[in-house]
Chain A
Amino acid sequence: MRPFTYERATDARTAVGAVSRPGAKFISGGTNLLDLMKLDIERPGHLVDISRLPLRDIEELPDGGLRIGAQAANSDVAADARVRTRYPVLSQALLSGASGQLRNKASTGGNLLQRTRCPYFYDTAAGCNKRNPGSGCSAIGGFNRIHAILGVSDSCIATHPSDMAVAMTALEAEIELLGAEGSLRRVAITDFYRLPGDTPHIETVLRPREMITGVDLPPPPPGRQLYRKVRDRASYEFALVSVAAIVSTDQGTINQARVAFGGVAHKPWRSIEAEAALTGRPATMATYRAAAVEAMRDAVGQGHNNFKIELAKRTLCRTLAQLARES
């Protein structure tokens, strides 16, 4: 690992000031960053430790929503009684990711900013426009079984690995950011992530030196919530495809639906198309299939990952069927 200097921030304003040093980065749980530093993929010259900032709390919002501090550990969010009862899709998503040890360390803000698990991003001998802009994409035409099927570009077909962010997308979460000048701004999670385009190394709209301070969940939408994750192992594995769904039905008719996919794109993929195809329709398998077709209308396989298109459709159908069965 390359040498770096280290300092521990005592308050948020100081932290965004300290990270203005060239080559500086924030570190919180470190479970992704330190892994990438050991592999010489991340090369910060200075680390600003924000893990002890007073941003760990989960608090009620006046509108009936919930505010999750950026430093709240994944395990604390998953175990919070309010999250479990009012936002079970978020608890389920968190619990389906990583291991117990990693969830105890990984922070909410860090989970949002974790990097792709594309093996070519990890292989410093391979071309990767995300790791080394302009060096090409070895995944296109390479081994791309785990790669994206929606929103890809000629520069990058990597996926975003988070489960948590998929649930937060279905919940229409807002991310609060503290800027270098001390100003706060809020960004909807769907606007927070970028598609790869020709700048896949720029993954979010986060500005230089900005820090995530919290995530606000609006009051839970009506209906039942479910996160379903499909992967190569039963536990401790990234998603091939995942679905976060929130569906409200009235006498067998769907009156409101939220659908987000994980494992299919460079960002958590909200499917407005699937939602439109579900709303006002009977809660039947024929409706689910029609919605799945709409969700994957623009999907394109890269060869090894062609199966993901059908897998995503079936995972959506099965998730919706389970929600209907339990309602």
Chain B
Amino acid sequence: MSDSGTGATGSSLGEMAQLSAITLNVNDQARRLEVDPRTSLLDALREHLHLIGTKKGCDHGQCGACTVLINGRRVNSCLTLAVMHEGDDVVTIEGLGDPDGLHPMQRAFVERDGFQCGYCTPGQICSAVGMLAEVEAGWPSHATADVASPRVALTDEEIRERMSGNICRCAAYPNIVAAVRSVAGGDPG
């Protein structure tokens, strides 16, 4: 279970950093690993735990390809350090579902053709799952006319605004919106 590798100890500056032992609860499993403090959560997931469903796009928090759920909330895993998440619950695309048991959001992306190349898709799906929880909790968005209103009507405009942190260079946006809408119960399909 534990990662025996010593990845990322040799920096480009030729200095050795001390490794930190941490435990992350990833997809309902306690995973113990030793990381250089510089290791992003994204690199810890991909390079140490070999959960390569989470993608590295820009590595600067701009594209959303690395989106995972931490303690139920969507975040950019590239812009946070693994050592800062000791004991936290992390859910990646692998934890949402697998081919034999797809998460409703995964199934919706397949059924609605919500992708072309697929590289941004794990981040889109994790983001959409986190986003629907935010809507469930009544969070307003920039597209909400009255932020004081306790309820949110999840229009397409709301979906687009709330998903703006996930870029799709294939521009599959219409079908991504359709997929999210179908899971949110916004249409009968």
Q: Which residues of A contact B (CB under 8 A)?
A: 1-6, 8, 27, 29-31, 34-35, 38, 47, 49, 51, 75, 78-79, 81, 84-85, 88, 91-92, 95-96, 98-102, 104-105, 234-236
Contacts and interface: CB of A to CB of B under 8 A. Distances in A.
Contact of A30 (B73, B81, B131, B147): B81
B84 interface: yes
Contacts of A38: 59-60
A75 B76 contact: no
Contacts of A78: 139-140, 147
Contacts of B4: none
13 contacts: A2-B11, A6-B81, A8-B86, A27-B81, A31-B79, A34-B81, A81-B150, A95-B141, A101-B67, A101-B74, A101-B75, A101-B127, A104-B74
Contacts of A91: 140, 147
A31 B37 contact: no
Contacts of A1: 11, 38
A92 B40 CA distance: 31
B80 interface: yes
Interface in B54-102: 59-61, 64, 67, 73-76, 79-81, 83-84, 86
A49 B84 CA distance: 7
Contacts of A51: 84
Interface of B: 11, 13, 15-18, 20, 36-38, 40, 59-61, 64, 67, 73-76, 79-81, 83-84, 86, 127, 130-131, 134, 137-142, 144, 147-148, 150, 160-166
Nearest to B20: A6
A229 to B, nearest CB: 8
Contact of B138 (A27, A79, A99): A79
A23 to B, nearest CB: 14
Contacts of A236: 164-165
A-B pairs with lowest CB-CB distance, top 3: A99-B165, A235-B164, A6-B37
Given A31-B79, A101-B75, A235 B161 contact: yes
Nearest to B17: A3
Contacts of B64: 99, 101
A226 B18 CA distance: 49
B38 A31 contact: no
A236 B166 CA distance: 10
A258 B90 CA distance: 43
B147 A92 contact: yes
Given A8-B86, A84-B148, 13 more contacts: A2-B11, A2-B13, A4-B37, A31-B76, A34-B79, A35-B61, A92-B147, A99-B165, A100-B165, A101-B76, A102-B76, A235-B142, A236-B165
Contacts of A84: 140, 147-148
A85 B146 CA distance: 10
Contacts of B11: 1-3
B174 to A, nearest CB: 16
Nearest to A92: B147
A74 to B, nearest CB: 11
Contacts of B84: 8, 27, 30, 49, 51
B150 A100 contact: no
B37 A47 contact: yes
Contacts of B74: 100-101, 104
A100 B17 contact: no
B80 A105 contact: yes
B146 to A, nearest CB: 8
A264 to B, nearest CB: 21
B17 A105 contact: no
